[in-house]
Structures are given as structure tokens and as C-alpha cells.
Copies of this chain bind each other. A is one copy, B any other.
Amino acid sequence: MASSQKKTRIKANTPKGDYLRVIPMGGLDDVGMNCCLIECNGSMIMIDCGLTFPETDGYGIDVIVPDLSFVLDNLDMLDAVVLTHGHEDHIGALPVFLREVDVPIYGGRLTLAMVGRKLEETPLDGPVRMNPVEPGDRVKIGEFTVEFIHTNHSVPNAMSISIETPVGRLIFTGDWKLDQTPIGEPTMDLQRFAALGADGVLALLADSTNSGSPGFSKSEADVQEGLAAVLESAEGRVIVAQFSSNINRVQGMLELAEQFGRKVALQGRSMHNNFGLAEGLGFVKVPKNVLIDLYDVHKYPDDEILIISTGSQGEPRAALTRMAYGSHNKLDIKKTDTVVLSSRVIPGNERGIQTVINELTKRGATVITANDRPIHASGHAKRGEMKLLLNLIKPKHLIPMHGSYKMRSEHAKIAATVGVTSGLVIDNGDVLQFSGRGKPTVIERVHVGRIYVDGRSNAADIEDVQLRDRKALGFAGIIIAHVVVNRSSGAIVSGPDLMHRGFLNAEEEEMLPVASKFVRGSIEKMSASERRNSNQVSETIRQSLRRYFRKALDRKPVVIPIVHELSLIHI
């Protein structure tokens, strides 16, 4: 991640007294890449540092991270990174960021453990300054007093963050929901949110994801009940696919397995990773004699087996997908299996998931999705919960976070229905300033953007020009023309020899000799002095090849001319 050449400093309209600024660096409109800066009197914290995934695969891009060159240009202000929870879209860009920056990180123990696991694969100069915090902890960071408040979400250890500043208090929800009957954790700390509200909150920065959904989200207890019904009626093995970070759901299933006399085997690398971290830190309580190894599944009758697996999104290499295609080394799908997809469909994964469901069904398994049974609950607050939090906190302003413009505008409208009429719908890069008693204003925009990352060991950035070239190559293939020209006479010694990759089908390849003659003709029409200039010959080759294939096939491949000039005498 290269820092931009010109240092970007926020200077505009800096008021004489105290000021407070909110600068979202990502997460608004982007799917993922959640990252927000809070700056007060020259002291800055970053809340979350997430990644997103490319919309189409195929160009060697593994992940996309926010362009944080603005932060790199203002590093002297940055006092800490504060994390709300351990999902990729909130912590996934940290490995890239921490390669360049040494900054203390605050977050829950499980959240930091998940960061630590990611950093194991990242070569860093020195140790990372991790500061684990508990719900209720208050930490002084620069101009801020940061307090961590327990909330519910689809990963344990999620926390909202109260940020006290000389200008007023912000509450940043992070991803949250209200779960009144949670599994493996308490209900969100309603009393603390209420007390902070009573004490006065300048602005609530809140998750807008589900602003389109009326009512209240389902509880993990509802999901447990739905899964219990499946376990009760299933005659063979039950295989539940879910997100590996949803440890509370695993907890719920461990309890059910004990109740229904089933053994639980975990499947998938990330499932083992996340479960291991959560168990080590006490975020999951494993009943005795319930967990078994996947290798031992065959030792038990089918109706005593529950497998909890990754692959709910139809990911090509996930265990469930391999089972669906019969290419799993340990498990074959049986006709008596019940497969439960206990998850939502992430947009873009529809076809992959549908294919996996199909293959499972072909092998005779019964497949149950959230459309069939109440076996999934959203991790994000719906309208009823949004209103409740606003009514508990009664902030002066709402800044809708996490979501598309439509979701955020909707959130602002919902707030207005419960009396919070100042909904500030801002954009990534907007510098929203609070100061004195005036209305908060966007005083300027700083640079934001996306950086494409090839996720292999060295994690190089993929530049726009590379991506453009890869798209052009992928779209129509390449044709290479190699010609040898006598530098003294300008005569064509040999060629042009044409070769291609991906451009022509077998039948069309018969055009190559004709195209070669056409190009040779174009070169021969040049004057001898023009032909002695390899750049001019290259340009002629490029143009005449393009013209030939545009006319013959109406297609435009990438054309690479290679002109070799000889200062030689032929023998």
C-alpha cells in the first residue's frame, strides 16, 4: 500500500476551540471494508480495518482493502486501532495495514486472537501491540476515553464502543443485534447503553444493514429450536453448514447434540481454527463426551452423528462442496443424510450454493435451507431493534454506518420516526466535523479508494493497469507477431510469425497464415527508412493485425509485436 505522494492534511476550517471529526474510510456503499476514523484536536483513532472480496474472481485478486494513504499521511495523529469484532470485513485489512504501521490495537480477547491468527501468515517487522479489553473497560487513548460495551452479533465478543471526547460522546455500535435469549453469551448491555444515553450522547454511529427489514431479528434460541426440530426428525446423519465464526451457534448445537445423543465432529480448517480460539479463551463450553474427530464418524450409528461444517456459501474448496461432488477424502453423502445450510446467501454466491444443493440432492440427501425452516438468524438489528437503541440512547445525531446509501437513508428515516431527526448520511472520505454548538458539517473530502491485493505470501498490490490488461487478455486472448528486419536495408528477413493464446478456435487458426501475409504486405508498403525504425514497424503490425481480425472476426485481441532488428549478413 503506497502512501500517496502529496501529504493530505485536514486543515480546512479547523475551529479555534475543540473539534471532533468522523471520517469513514470504507464500509459505506462498499460491501465490507469497514473502517472509520475519529479525530479530535489532532488525536485520531481508527475503528475497524476490514476487507472485501472481489465481485468477480478470475483476475488473481484475492481481497480488496481500503486505500488508507490518508491515514499513512497523517500517521502522527493515529493513536490506536479499536476493533468491534472479529469478522473479516472489520479486521481483514489489518495485515496489510500493519506491514506499514506500528500502532496499538484494542479489542476483545477473541477478536484479537482472530487478528493474531491472521497475522501469523503476514511477515511483520516487529511484534504487534495488542491490548485486550473486556466489556465495561474504559481506556484513555489520546483525546478520547474509549469504553467497550457488550453487544450481540453473529460472532462472540462483539462490542460497541463509547467514545468520550471534549466535544461530546459518540457511540459506535459496530455490527450488532439485540438477542434477548442468546446462546453462549449474555444479552447486549441494555442498561449501559441506557445510562450512557441518559448521560448524553452527541451522535450514534450505527449499523444500517437491516434497515429494510421490519420487526425484530430472530434469536439464537429460535435457531436452536429450529435445529432441534431437524435433529428430532432426522433419521440419519445431520450435517450443518454455517459460518465458522458463529461460535454461539456451534455452542447451541453442542447442547442439542448432548440432548439428542449425537456426537459432534467439526469439519473445515476455519471451523477448527475459530473453534479452537474460542474454546481456548472460554467463549464456548464443550459438554463432556460430545466432540469426536471426523475420522471417527464411521464408528457411530448415523443417527448419532452431527457434523458442523464450513461451506455454507458453496465455496469451491470447502468441505461441504467436496462432499457434494463426492471428492471428500473422509465422508461420502448418504441418502439418509440431512444437510442444513444454517446461513444467509451472500449476494454473488447464489449459483454456487444452488449447485451444491443440487449435487447433494442428487446424492439423495435432504437439504434444508433458511427458506424451509427457521434455522438461521441475522446478526444485524432490524427496524424494531434500531428504534429501540435510538430510544434507549436518544442521541442528538444519527450517523448511519455499514451499508449501502439506500440502507443508510432508510436508517435515517427510521430514526426520525422515534424523534432523532438529525440523520447524517455521509460518504466514504467525508470529513464530518462537530464543533461548538453549530450543526455538524462535512468540511472536506479526503482520498478514499480500493486496493486490489493478490493474497499470496508477498501480498503485492495489483495496479489498475494490470487489472485492465488482465481483463483485456481474458476477454479476447492475445496474438503475438514476431518479425525479423535487416537493420541496414529495412528488408524483412523472416516473419511475421504469428502465435496466439485464447484468441482463436481450431478452425479459425487457419486464418493465421493469411493474416501473416496481410501484415507482411502492410510492412512491405512502408518505405525502407520507415522499416529501419522498429517502433514504426511495431505500430504497423499492431494496426494491420487489428484491422485484419476486426474485419474477419469482429474481435480485438491484445496484440504484441516483437520486431527483431538484425545487423547481419545472411549466408
B567–A564 CB distance below 8 A? no
Contact B506 A463 (CB under 8 A): yes
User: What are 24 of the A-B contact pairs (CB < 8 Å)?
Assistant: A31-B351, A59-B475, A60-B477, A60-B555, A212-B371, A347-B351, A347-B354, A348-B348, A348-B350, A348-B351, A358-B405, A359-B405, A456-B555, A466-B503, A470-B476, A470-B477, A473-B473, A473-B501, A473-B502, A478-B478, A480-B480, A480-B560, A482-B562, A569-B569
Contact A564:B482 (CB < 8 A) given known A460-B505, A505-B462? yes
Residue A199 lies at the interface, judged by CB distance under 8 Å to chain B: no
Residues of B within 8 A of A474 (CB): 58-60, 470-471, 473-475
A189 in contact (CB, < 8 A):
no
Q: Does A119 contact B (CB under 8 A)?
A: no
Given contacts A56-B57, A347-B354, A555-B456, contact A477 B482 (CB under 8 A): no
Using Cβ atoms and an 8 Å threshold, which residues of chain B touch A31?
351
A12 at the interface (CB under 8 A from B): no
Q: Distance (Å) between the CB of A538 and the closest chain B CB?
A: 11
CA distance A501 to B467 in the complex (A): 10
User: Cβ of A457 < 8 Å from any Cβ of B?
Assistant: yes
Which residues does chain B contribute within 8 Å of A553, judged by CB atoms? Answer: 456, 458, 460
Q: How many residues on the A side are at the interface (Cβ–Cβ under 8 A)?
A: 73
Bound complex: CA of A475 vs CA of B469, how far in Å? Answer: 10
A499 on interface, CB distance cutoff 8 Å: yes
Min CB distance A30 to B, Å, is: 11
A454-B362 Cα distance, complex, nearest whole Å = 32
Task: List which A455-513 residues lie within 8 A (CB) of chain B.
Answer: 456-458, 460-463, 466-478, 480, 482, 484, 494, 499, 501-508
Judging by beta carbons under 8 Å apart, are B461 and A505 in contact?
Answer: yes
Q: Nearest Cβ distance between residue A124 and chain B, in whole angstroms?
A: 18
Query: Is A63 located at the chain interface by the 8 A CB criterion?
Result: no
Copy number in the complex reads 2
The smallest beta-carbon distance between A375 and chain B, in angstroms, is: 15
Contact A475 B60 (CB under 8 A): yes
In the complex, are the beta carbons of B571 and A569 less than 8 A apart?
Answer: yes
- The reply to whether A351 and B55 contact each other, CB–CB distance below 8 Å, is yes
Tell me if B350 and A406 are in contact (CB < 8 A). no
Residues of A342-373 contacting chain B, CB below 8 A: 347-348, 350-351, 354, 357-359, 361-362, 367, 371
Name A466's contact: one of B347, B351, B502 (CB within 8 Å). Answer: B502
User: From residue A401, how far is it (CB to closest CB) to chain B in Å?
Assistant: 15
Q: Which of B409, B467, B477, B506 contacts A469 (CB 8 A)?
A: B477
A:43-77 near B, CB below 8 Å: 55-60
Instruction: Please indicate the chain B residues that have their CB under 8 angstroms from the CB of A361 in the complex.
Output: 404-406, 409
* Sample of 20 further A-B pairs with CB below 8 A, known A466-B477, A474-B474: A29-B358, A55-B351, A58-B475, A60-B474, A60-B555, A347-B354, A357-B406, A358-B405, A358-B406, A361-B405, A362-B405, A454-B555, A460-B507, A460-B553, A468-B502, A469-B502, A470-B476, A473-B478, A501-B560, A569-B571
| Residue A137 lies at the interface, judged by CB distance under 8 Å to chain B | no
- CB distance B478 to A501 under 8 Å? yes
A558 within 8 A of B: yes
Q: Which A167-222 residues sit within 8 Å CB-CB of chain B?
A: 212
A interface residue numbers (CB < 8 A to B)? 2, 29, 31, 55-60, 212, 347-348, 350-351, 354, 357-359, 361-362, 367, 371, 404-406, 409, 454, 456-458, 460-463, 466-478, 480, 482, 484, 494, 499, 501-508, 553-555, 558, 560, 562, 564, 566-571
Q: Is B558's CB under 8 angstroms from A471's CB?
A: no
Q: Is the CB of B470 within 8 A of A475?
A: yes
Q: How far is the CA of A569 from the CA of B564 in the complex (A)?
A: 16
Residue of B at shortest CB range from A469? Answer: B502
Q: How far apart sit A13 and B81, CA to CA, in the bound complex (Å)? A: 73
- Set of chain B residues within 8 Å of A56, measured between Cβ atoms: 56-58
Given A56-B57, A505-B461, A567 and B562 contact (CB-CB distance below 8 Å): no
Which residues on the B side are within 8 Å of A362 (C-beta)? Answer: 405
B59, B469, B503: the one within 8 Å of A501 (CB)? B469
Closest B residue to A354 by beta carbon equals B404
Once the chains bind, are A406 and B367 in contact (CB under 8 Å)? yes
Give the docked Cα–Cα distance between A386 and B476 (Å): 45
Smallest CB separation, A116 vs chain B (Å): 23
By Cβ-Cβ distance, the 10 closest A-B pairs, closest first, are A474-B474, A469-B502, A347-B350, A473-B473, A470-B502, A456-B554, A568-B568, A361-B406, A463-B505, A469-B501
- Given contacts A406-B361, A458-B554, A482-B564, whether A58 and B58 have CB atoms under 8 Å apart is yes
Q: Which residue of B lies closest to A350 (CB)?
A: B347
Min CB distance A480 to B, Å, is: 6
Return the chain B residue nearest A503 by Cβ: B466
- A117 to B458 Cα, complex, angstroms: 53
